[in-house]
Structure 1
Amino acid sequence: MRVENEYGSYFTCDYDYLRFLQKLFHYHLGTDVLLFTTDGAHETFLQCGALQGLYATVDFGPGANITAAFGIQRKSEPRGPLVNSEFYTGWLDHWGQPHSTVRTEVVASSLHDILARGANVNLYMFIGGTNFAYWNGANMPYQAQPTSYDYDAPLSEAGDLTEKYFALRDVIRKVPQGVLDRSEVITLNITGKAGASLDLLVENMGRVNYGRDINDFKGLISNLTLGSNILTDWMIFPLDTEDAVRRHLGDWHGCNNGRHDKALAHSSSNYTLPAFYTGNFSIPSGIPDLPQDTFIQFPGWTKLMSFSNQYFGFVLYRTTLPQDCSDPTPLSSPLSGVHDRAYVAVDGVPQGVLDRSEVITLNITGKAGASLDLLVENMGRVNYGRDINDFKGLISNLTLGSNILTDWMIFPLDTEDAVRRHLGDWHGCNNGRHDKALAHSSSNYTLPAFYTGNFSIPSGIPDLPQDTFIQFPGWTKGQVWINGFNLGRYWPARGPQMTLFVPRHILVTSAPNTIMVLELERAPCGDNGPELCTVEFVDRPVISATPTPSHPPLDLPYQHWGLDYV
């Protein structure tokens, strides 16, 4: 079990913290579980990331000096397996930057060299992923990562096989058997009478790592012998434990009035028969606001926590203008205190956008006493290195001209609840149409607003529904939900990602599917009517586009659907 990931890259170098984690893991998992850490293959990283009692592993990508990298690990771990816990098959993206790729032949060559040394390796990523909802990360200097985490992985974000997959498969299948020999017990002494039942409950412990043939068959894959005799006439019973739990069945021999007598059968070994145990519990009385989060003390189980505070999404900051701004007056964040992006409006008229890494000053106009609204978006948290204390919102003063703005009212916005309730824009809903969202402004922005529509899965396509991708012609930047599921951010005006992955399990064929779009900057319909607010469903992803002011049409098969204002 990995205890920490690249802690050596963090500035504190707190060994007490690592010792605390070590004790915590032992408390929950027991002392016979191997605990390990992962750090970059550099002495300074392992100096602070490793601890006696935690097996130190390293991570590095293709093209690295493999001998030197594992040499660094050997300085911390003179004995034991060589392990690259994160062998990078590709790399992550950032908004406004080209899509990252790593050449297949470079990845395959490095993997071959790692396996040739008899080392263990974990491919990161083996299959691309998706940062649904608000779960993308960021790096410093601040660059937010997009919704797609395709990573140029051997299996794409949608699970498609790639050229890289087949190349790495060819490398792995050529590894000689015996390089990564199993070290399991292969002989066991047993006792019993002739004719007695011999039962073997065979557990699939998971697939082997990718240093051996990936065709890793499970079960009894060769003969078993008893003394000098080969055992035959096996009866095979696949066991559906999930169904057993649903039915409240007993142990695998059957339930006997609620007690598993066979499971407690006397044996000279340290084992009893596998068995299910069940019970009930009631919430204790006298505790207010029940139910509450709690912990279950049982080895191998993990705890769950829920948080009432807002950590993701949007917060609205509101104050009033302390002075007349008939002429454009600079609204400034001199210490780059807008984390991360703020959509600015005065009395419902859009003024523009402040951005922590791009725009820290914006000219606005308005009368003294007018409402100044900043809708602040958390674009993703920094998740690596010394800057992970990445606070969100307005983290320092804003000035208007030479005056510091004060008396802010702060409104955490639950966009998920808004979607569930089909609420309107952040100023309120007006008979199904957002007139304020279309308010006249000298800027290129409209107010943030929700748009909603329905679509049905076309007939004549087998095995519906299927995975698909959604793209946003003419839209600028925002968030999208289908049937209440938050797919994540879209930002075709910035790129390189133009489409979002839509997994089939969120789609339905029995009723129309509902789509909601929160457009933050400017929708394509604007003053021209809602019929221009459409989205398109395509069968191929576009995550490597070069953003331009006017993105050219994409020659892709698609279905398009119109959206109306909420």
Structure 2
Amino acid sequence: MKAHPILALAFGLAALQPLASLAQAPAAAKHRFEIGETELLLDGKRMQIRCGELHFARVPKEYWRHRLQLCKAMGLNTVCAYLFWNLHEFEKGKYNWEGQADAAEFCRLAQEEGLWVILRPGPYACAEWDGGGLPWWLLKKPDIALRSQDPDFMAASKAWLAEVGRVLGPLQVTKGGPILMAQVENEYGFYGKDAEYMGRMRQATIDAGFDIPLFACNPTGSLWNGKRDDLFNVVNFGSDPATGFKKLREVQPKGPLMCGEFYPGWFDTWGAPHHLGKTETYLADLDYMLNAGASFSIYMAHGGTSFGLWAGADRPFKPDTSSYDYDAPISEAGWIGDKFERTRQLMSRYLLPGEKLSDPPAPKPVIEIPAFQLTETAAVLANLPEAIKDSAPRHMEAYDQGHGCTVYRTTLPVGPAAKLQLDQVHDFAWVYLDGKEVGVMDRRSRRFHVNLPERKEEARLDILVEAMGHVNFGVEIHDRKGIHGKVQLVEAAKTSELKGAWEIFPLKLDAPLLAGLKWKPADKDESGPRFWRGGFTLAKAEDTFLDMRSWGKGVIWVNGHCLARHWNIGPTQTAYMPGAWLKEGKNEVIVLDLTGPTEATMAGLSKPILDELRPELDFARKGTKKSTLELGDHVADLSASFSAGADAQDVKFATPLEGSQFVLEALSAHDGKPYAAIAELDLLDPAGNSISHASWTIAYVDSEELVGEDGSASNAINGQTADFWHSEWKTVQPGYPHRLVIDLGAKTAIGGFRYTPRAGNNPGRIKDYRVHVGSGFVKEAK
């Protein structure tokens, strides 16, 4: 077997030189990894990469070895090391590679456990991580264009990759380490088409000292975008590997086949059903790849937890839960069960010469903690830091803040009842007059106003804004938090902008803020956003799951560790508490609750609660079914049929249409069944470019499955083709027509759209359809 000559020439790297040159290689180069003509080669021998994604940032460092041993026992020979740039450079120029951020130690442990490593250094990662791993401080520049050749973005990215090379370069396989390959960018084809940008990122990785094969990954429908022949291309999919590899062959006719991300489950967002993968389908697809000799990475082999404030947000804005269980073969807490055992059995049939399966390590012990009280409070509005003066509110990043909450304060004059109107707020805002709550604003439904009562005296206006995760996917990653645009007072006779005297109080929810809180005994009659403090005593520190069902919405800290976000709407109702972060004796718990608990109590459970939705507790959201669709005598702007099959289909209008609402009427399915499904619906501008989803909402849908699976209508516009909108099927099966309406937030010129069917041989592929573009089709329920 030999290295593929075209790929070797394209890489131009020392790791791909002819085998004869090994005699001149440095003595430290213990192994040689190559992209062969038909196979991957390790020291000249066939290697099938059986990889699993395992994010060290989502696993307590104390448990890294345990989780790596589980991966090895499952039959994996490789793990992915995803780097989240913002974890390592939270403040510009200040790098952190210690403790939970010690990527080199993770790689060394993997090598000790007999696992190779695939490095994914970014700069962009996605991974349902805050901002996709991009540091918040990039957004301090008002006009920065992320993931582009913008000079400021390129300079920061090059500096980051150089730092990665300094820390992890010595751990490449060419130097005796475990790192076989490194990825350039991540799924760039979904975001853009600039092959020169990808080339500059490739060169920056080489300049950082990487002499191993470099690769690019993309979903099946984006493989051509930004494609380069000097990068090894791999494809990402959640099912139907035959189609995925067929698409890969169209862009890369020769070379080994590899799936860069293969999804056994999916992630959860607040307010949507918990995701469970279909184990039978997952195993059949995995068997197909193993039998075909293809390499792959299971995303996720072990999901873990997005601790602290690191969980991101799906687009247009669907914040992710802190639990990243993913229904992976290894659970959030490192437990194994049927999916693990069946994966292990399957892998055992495809081991390479000399390989053998190890036994899985014992699970970490779990304890229950009796209910305990949180008996002290510190009111948020009574514990504000020093104010920043400004003439008008700006987004958080402008005040050197990337996470947490911000209080915007001004004084309102005497006046009649009025409406407080903001252009936008990211993400939630509670409005107070003289300390009394008068309303809530919610980015999910684009509700950016509240009604104010009559004011017979001047009143203090406080707007408490909570930032959840920065959007981590699509052009919406330009997600600045806080108040955007004007703050206006709308009265019967006039509208005035509130300008001149604002005080801004950044609440970064960090250690200095917690240390400065002024605590007092809890008063059950007190209301408003508060920090709560209490604790419990342990004879032995082991894993547990904190029961948060009696709490509202906010953040949890235990023994100084920022543990997770909590929100009573679910589906996650517990917080995974690693025993490694507890201690024998007294343990301190602090909870920020922005809406208030029903009881200030907590307990430690022996099992997590990941699938309990409580939509009745959602303080501001309007469901997509409560509105009415009134097309009246509007004549469809287009009547046509989609082709059969799984390929994305672009539809171009004869002339551009303009409107603020886009209506897709699905009239029939190719298989004749009553179901409709859409993996992704993208609108295109007159030039054929994707229109930003940042201001979009689902204004109406006639049917969405929320019992048997997450078939939420919002899945059709979130940029992820592995999930989908699906009409109801579990308890009722309403027939065609099915209607989905997107509200764009403003009148927009639309040149066409892209319809991506659900992947695999599954029901719901739409055949005949009609499109309406206009305004006012959907009426909100009173």
Aligned to 2:544: 468
Q: Is the aligned partner of 1:449 residue 2:530? A: yes
Aligned to 2:203: 23
1:543 is aligned with what amino acid? Answer: L
- Structure 2 distance, partners of 1:455, 1:416, is 22
Whether the aligned pair in 1 keeps the contact of 2:316 and 2:476 (CA below 8 Å) is no
Q: In structure 2, the residue corresponding to 1:4 is in which secondary structure?
A: coil
Aligned to 1:363: 451
Whether the aligned pair in 2 keeps the contact of 1:104 and 1:164 (CA below 8 Å) is yes
**1:77 Cα shift?**
2.3
Aligned to 1:54: 231
Aligned to 1:89: 264
Q: In structure 2, the residue corresponding to 1:29 is in which secondary structure?
A: coil
Aligned to 2:6: none
Structure 1 residues 548 and 16: CA distance shift in structure 2, 3 A: closer
Name the % identity. 35
Q: How does 1:8-407 map to 2 (within 5 A)?
A: 8-10=189-191, 12-30=192-210, 32-42=211-221, 45-62=222-239, 64=240, 66-175=241-350, 177=352, 214-215=357-358, 309-325=400-416, 327=417, 329-333=418-422, 335=423, 337-358=424-445, 359-365=447-453, 367=455, 369-401=458-490, 402-407=495-500
- Structure 2 distance, partners of 1:115, 1:449, is 53
- Structure 2 distance, partners of 1:33, 1:4, is 15
Structure 1 residues 371 and 22: CA distance shift in structure 2, 3 A: same
Q: Is the aligned partner of 1:515 residue 2:696? A: no
Which has the greater radius of gyration? Answer: 1
Structure 1 residues 22 and 423: CA distance shift in structure 2, 3 A: same
Aligned to 1:536: 603
Q: Is the aligned partner of 1:487 residue 2:581? A: no
Whether the aligned pair in 2 keeps the contact of 1:476 and 1:491 (CA below 8 Å) is yes
Structure 1 residues 438 and 396: CA distance shift in structure 2, 3 A: farther
1:465 is aligned with what amino acid? Answer: A
Whether the aligned pair in 2 keeps the contact of 1:137 and 1:382 (CA below 8 Å) is yes
**1:548 Cα shift?**
5.2
Structure 1 residues 419 and 485: CA distance shift in structure 2, 3 A: farther
Whether the aligned pair in 2 keeps the contact of 1:104 and 1:163 (CA below 8 Å) is no
- Structure 2 distance, partners of 1:162, 1:75, is 38
**1:546 Cα shift?**
2.5
TM value normalised by structure 2 = 0.48
- Structure 1 distance, partners of 2:357, 2:481, is 44
- Unaligned runs of at least 5 residues, structure 1: 183-211, 218-306, 440-445, 525-531, 552-566
Aligned to 2:517: 423
- Structure 1 distance, partners of 2:454, 2:213, is 64
**1:49 Cα shift?**
3.8
Structure 1 residues 541 and 34: CA distance shift in structure 2, 3 A: same
Structure 1 residues 20 and 453: CA distance shift in structure 2, 3 A: same
Whether the aligned pair in 2 keeps the contact of 1:346 and 1:366 (CA below 8 Å) is no
**1:518 Cα shift?**
0.6
Aligned pair count? Answer: 393
Structure 1 residues 323 and 18: CA distance shift in structure 2, 3 A: farther
Alignment match of 1:504 (pick from 562, 571, 579): 579
Aligned to 2:506: 412
**1:502 Cα shift?**
0.5
- Unaligned runs of at least 5 residues, structure 2: 1-181, 361-397, 619-782
Whether the aligned pair in 2 keeps the contact of 1:340 and 1:379 (CA below 8 Å) is yes
1:469 is aligned with what amino acid? Answer: F
Whether the aligned pair in 1 keeps the contact of 2:549 and 2:574 (CA below 8 Å) is no
Write the deviation string for residues 273-309 of structure 1: whole angstroms up to 9, x where unpaired.
Answer: xxxxxxxxxxxxxxxxxxxxxxxxxxxxxxxxxx993
Structure 1 residues 505 and 37: CA distance shift in structure 2, 3 A: same
- Structure 2 distance, partners of 1:473, 1:101, is 22
Write the deviation string for residues 418-443 of structure 1: whole angstroms up to 9, x where unpaired.
Answer: 5541514xxxx6xx1577x955xxxx
- Structure 2 distance, partners of 1:114, 1:418, is 51
- Structure 1 distance, partners of 2:347, 2:291, is 10
Whether the aligned pair in 2 keeps the contact of 1:134 and 1:312 (CA below 8 Å) is yes
Structure 1 residues 454 and 176: CA distance shift in structure 2, 3 A: closer
Whether the aligned pair in 1 keeps the contact of 2:403 and 2:508 (CA below 8 Å) is no
TM value normalised by structure 1 = 0.65
